[in-house]
Amino acid sequence: MLLLLTGCSSAPTPGGGTETLPTKEPVTVMVARTGGFAGVMDTITIKGDGSWTHPTALTVNGKLEPAQVTQLQKLATDPRLVTEAAATPAPTKCNDTFDYTVTAGAVTISYTDCPSDVFQPVATKQLVEFVQDVVS
């Protein structure tokens, strides 16, 4: 299973030894949306520090508020993302829908936004919705 913890630090313990404590490095999140009736190609990237770019929007860059960065990191490190990334969805039943590719750190999830499809990546969709809301 993939762990999103990428760093460690040492802390003194009683008796003079050290204990290794995991530390979480902020992850970069990228949401790419393609397809739809008009053939959209849209990408939003948010770095771990909260700075974002959205080259196809009117406002092409910005910075999230600290509370938004905290929420983003919580969603981006949700363990359900690893499970959703490992899923192999059946072919979609929808036409002219959006296809998403979401990268959160080392995890990449792809899905078609079709409500009638069996595969519904709940955690991934929550992350996508949050990203789209905070940069719009």
Range of the domain at 47: 26-135
For residues 26 and 48, is the Cβ–Cβ distance under 8 A?
Answer: yes
Q: What is the pLDDT of residues 73-83, one digit of tens each?
A: 999 999 999 99
| 12 domain residue, yes or no | no
For residues 11 and 18, is the Cβ–Cβ distance under 8 A?
Answer: yes
| 2 domain residue, yes or no | no
Instruction: Give helix 122-135 / helix 66-76 axis angle, nearest 10°.
Output: 160
| 14 domain residue, yes or no | no
Q: Lowest-pLDDT range, 1-10, 17-26, 100-109?
A: 1-10
Q: What is the pLDDT of residues 111-129, one digit of tens each?
A: 999 999 999 999 999 999 9
| 91 domain residue, yes or no | yes
| 5 domain residue, yes or no | no
| 55 domain residue, yes or no | yes
| 7 domain residue, yes or no | no
The number of domains in the chain is 1
For residues 85 and 77, is the Cβ–Cβ distance under 8 A?
Answer: no
